[in-house]
Amino acid sequence: MDIVKKIMSKTAYQEFGGIVLSIRKHKEQDALIKIFTLEYGQRMFFVRNYYKANHAMKTALLPFSHATYIGTIKSDGLCFLQDYKEVENFSVIQQDVYLNAYSTYFANLADAAIEDGEVNKELFDLLLVSYQQLQNGLDPEIIMNIFEMNMLRYFGVFPKLGRCAVCGNEKEPFDYSVRYSGVLCTKHFHEDPKRLQIHPAAIHFCRIFQVIQPTQVNQISLKSDTKEAIRQLIDFFYDEFVGIRLKSKAYIDQMYEWEQSMQIVKRKREEEE
């Protein structure tokens, strides 16, 4: 009986929900796949022959796949997969180079925010709904901004954007002050000559994005200069307080630059006509 039990425990697999965070080639055919599991936190899985055609688990192991997996979780070292059940693939994201860039950035940020093996259902759900909203065709920039503002807390950053740091006034417009680590109302702008002097709409929306979920976005549409100001403020929070610079974020910034230069060329052509 004891022997049977021993064998059973050796071959017992765990079942867990997961989202594929990253896929890295290992040797010729194998892969190291990082999965954010709901029950065991983020874990590295060794997947043999992943790059061979017709790998049995390929559909459940595409970038950003969300699935129920069956496998072996090791407390230290690499984990292994045996099978999968339901799978949700984000085909729209996978086929779009821009959405891919956003999704990679979300995954990298989630990866950087918590330790491997740290269970965090709230963060798991945030990542999942962000992908679902991209798949549903919502504005990726707004989804990104909500994701980023929600993510700040996992880096221990809580920008106070709701009321003036000097008098508690809740009436906008506000400007952000590093000295007060919060916002100032117009009456107290003079308290910090080095305040950001940012577009007040940026603070207005960042304050909202801090407390809503990507599921609450259906029809927000923002002008491009408002978006630009929001981006500047969020970049400022990450540079100043989080202090990480991800390659995937730099790539998104690059995309914006290309887009802008394309628009300038387009405008010039229109002027010439």
In order, the DSSP letters of 188-241 are GGGG-TTS----HHHHHHHHHHHH--GGG-SS----HHHHHHHHHHHHHHIIII
The residue from 188, 207, 231, 249 that contacts Zn ion (CB under 5 A) is 188
Does 119 engage in binding with Zn ion (CB under 5 A)? no
In order, the DSSP letters of 18-78 are EEEEEEEEETTTEEEEEEEETTTEEEEEEETTTTSTT-TTGGGSSTT-EEEEEEE--SSS-
What the block records as the tokens of 213 is 């979920």
Q: Least CB distance from residue 165 to Zn ion, whole Å?
A: 8
What the block records as the tokens of 61 is 């192991």
**CB closer to Zn ion, 72 vs 169:** 169
Does 185 engage in binding with Zn ion (CB under 5 A)? yes
Q: Which residue has the tokens 């100032």?
A: 184
Q: Least CB distance from residue 163 to Zn ion, whole Å?
A: 8
Residue whose C-alpha is closest to residue 98's, from 262, 267, 253, 260: 253
Does 200 engage in binding with Zn ion (CB under 5 A)? no
Comparing every residue's Cβ against Zn ion, the nearest one is 164
Task: Count residues near Zn ion (CB under 5 A).
Answer: 7
Site for Zn ion in 123-182 (CB under 5 A): 164, 166-167, 169
Site for Zn ion in 228-257 (CB under 5 A): none
Which region among 6-14, 35-43, 128-136, 187-195 touches Zn ion (by CB under 5 A)?
A: 187-195
* Distances in whole angstroms, Cα of residue 216 to Cα of each of 126, 134, 164, 219, 220: 12, 13, 27, 9, 10
Q: Least CB distance from residue 166 to Zn ion, whole Å?
A: 4
**CB closer to Zn ion, 132 vs 169:** 169
What the block records as the tokens of 25 is 């080639």
Q: Least CB distance from residue 158 to Zn ion, whole Å?
A: 20
Question: Mask: binding to Zn ion, 16-55, rule CB under 5 A, as x and -?
Answer: ----------------------------------------
Report how far residue 240's alpha carbon sits from residue 259's, in angstroms, rounded to the nearest whole number: 26
Q: Least CB distance from residue 193 to Zn ion, whole Å?
A: 15
Q: Least CB distance from residue 184 to Zn ion, whole Å?
A: 6
Angle between helices 140-151 and 224-237 (to 10 degrees): 20
Binding site for Zn ion (CB under 5 A): 164, 166-167, 169, 185, 187-188
